[in-house]
Homo-oligomer: A and B are copies of this chain.
């Protein structure tokens, strides 16, 4: 069985220059079946991802899964174990306003490089990923694993003369554990990108080799609901990464159809290559949403982030189908 769902949005966004119209529409395919033995299986991707979803060794969009009492096993553009367990902070605005409410996870999402401040952060793209999830009695257990075979290098490395075909990389992986009730949840995760070596030739013709320790990340996260208020927070520590640690908090207050969201986040000891004027990059967001029913909502938001040159804001309508 194949079902269609979709989303759309339109409104006005200001990235610091002039207000601009911004709109989009998307459709998602969801395929589901069941074997004679009761094993559930399926796949999902969006229409705009149709080409990436047939990527084979580099399936960089959509996922394929089997699911049974043993849990769920997925391949494709999977989230990391930690993102599957904790997700992200609550966002603001009808567009997300560059998604500073998204927590930085160093792997997952098809092994693609994360980017922050226009620098591509993951040097090795390990292609199609996998994720195992198991939940029972409030506990959630997650393991993410890539295959260690490089399907590409980040442009920073390629421009420096490194040759993707010479990458020798450890497997990238992630593990996470969570526990939750109806009103609160907490968990811990560990992610490791794997050490790697890569050879190449500088533009000047000299041979170069990079023998690099892969990035590592530890994250603790939790959320709690207190009446009409939901609070979510995380603290993450990094090694061999572009900043030493990152922590943040979001608060959402809901009153009938209306809801207010605020978040604050700090990325500490940011590498000088990414920022010239401070070592701590702070991001603050405020947003309001009004549910119109039937899948539509009005949303507006404002974000003040050290990652941006200007305060940015938007207002518009979101739709789900």
Contacts and interface: CB of A to CB of B under 8 A. Distances in A.
A278 to B, nearest CB: 26
A25 B53 contact: yes
A1 B321 contact: yes
Interface string A61-93: 011101000000001100000000000000000
Interface in A31-87: 31-37, 39, 41-48, 50-51, 53-57, 59, 62-64, 66, 75-76
A23 interface: yes
Nearest to A77: B23
Given A293-B36, A294-B35, A319-B64, A2 B18 contact: no
A321 B32 contact: yes
Given A9-B64, A321-B1, A321-B31, A21 B75 contact: yes
Contact of A27 (B50, B128, B129, B319): B50
A53 B24 contact: yes
A22 interface: yes
B8 A31 contact: yes
A127 B20 CA distance: 9
B147 A19 contact: yes
Contacts of A35: 292-294, 296
Contact of A53 (B48, B294, B295): B48
Given A23-B56, A23-B63, A33-B295, 12 more contacts: A2-B27, A10-B75, A23-B75, A23-B76, A25-B29, A26-B53, A27-B29, A33-B296, A36-B293, A39-B292, A48-B50, A48-B51
